[in-house]
Structure 1
């Protein structure tokens, strides 16, 4: 006789929320039997997840805003790799972008969406929320969750002061619009961004 588990029991064994388990069931990542309004999950599925065939498969995503931050990007990736190694995660892909967090057409971000939608991974690991997107993080998180994928953020954005967060948002907006007006690598763009930085620093 096949042993069946409640979603709460499976969530406890896997160390995730019951809501995550239900999302995985609905997206087809976990096979389950529906009994009334509840799901029952076969033991074979629980063992499959415990073996790391889905749960511990992660994508690393790192981003910086400009090419002169390439060293920062490298350090960011290295930190994420070490973090995933310490957690026992299996990194299936490292995706990077050099672009504004306001840019919705990032090559790496599009690649990340395809991986999430394919059902090949169970988690995306980032350093800060704004590495993934400057605004609207909650919408992306909800979308990823709808495909059974969790976003794991290493550092809490609440560590940033409201003033620092506001300055970062303002610079992101200025950088994005200056790039559209003058071109991503133009001197006018660099001068404008530097002028805004200096003005904010003086305040």
Structure 2
């Protein structure tokens, strides 16, 4: 792959533009400058130079009303891991469309060696943490949970069921507004 502009490199690598610029300044990715003085990035060089694992702290809250909690999580992670990259998300633990989670997944699928740090398992995702742990281990990294306390199976099951119920109850008002359109659509089977 040839040298590509920042926008395409960000999309390809799943990194924030500021992170990519920082990596270029630190020599973690090869760059050249075009006639206009803009950096062009060699995304293939990024994977070759990653010899030690990168520490990534993942912080998440469920709703925008919890921004203060998110700020406390981020500060806690920065205090414990000052050199780590911080990824922040706002969204349900059942929502896999979160940008931060997807960028983490892209990096794992690319083979990056990551040490992922989360405060507790459900901060990463409600279901499927084992998949992230497996992928990190396959790349030579790990998933580190700071609060690994195991709750009784009954309370975990109850919390999972409540999370699922909450997710679907939030979707109901949206479905009601489209009920007429759904009923009138000739392409959908009738009950």
Q: How far off its partner does 1:163 sit?
A: 4.9
TM-score, structure 1 length as denominator? 0.54
Q: Could you tell me which of 156, 177, 182 is aligned with 2:148?
A: 156
Q: What stretches of structure 2 of length at least 5 have no aligned partner?
A: 1-49, 175-191
Query: Counterpart in 2 of 1:105?
Result: 97
Paired residue total = 125
Deviations 1:152-175 (A, max 9, x none): 1111131x4545433432331122
**Paired residues for 1:12-91 under 5 Å:** 54-55=52-53, 57-85=54-82, 90-91=83-84
* 2:162 aligns with one of 161, 167, 171: 171
In 1: Cα distance, 2:107 partner to 2:81 partner: 18
* 1:116 matched residue in structure 2: 108
Q: Give yes or no for contact 1:141–1:151 (8 Å, CA) kept in 2.
A: yes
Distance 1:121 1:133 in 2: 20
- Give the Cα–Cα distance (whole angstroms) in 1 for the partners of residues 99 and 168 of structure 2: 19
Alpha-carbon RMSD across the aligned residues, in angstroms, is 2.3
Say which SS state the counterpart of residue 81 (structure 2) adopts. helix
Q: Of the candidates 112, 135, 149, which is equivalent to residue 143 of structure 1?
A: 135
Mapped partners of 1:168, 1:80: distance in 2: 25
Report how far residue 132 of structure 1 moved. Answer: 0.8
**Structure 1 stretches (4+) deviating beyond 6 angstroms?**
none
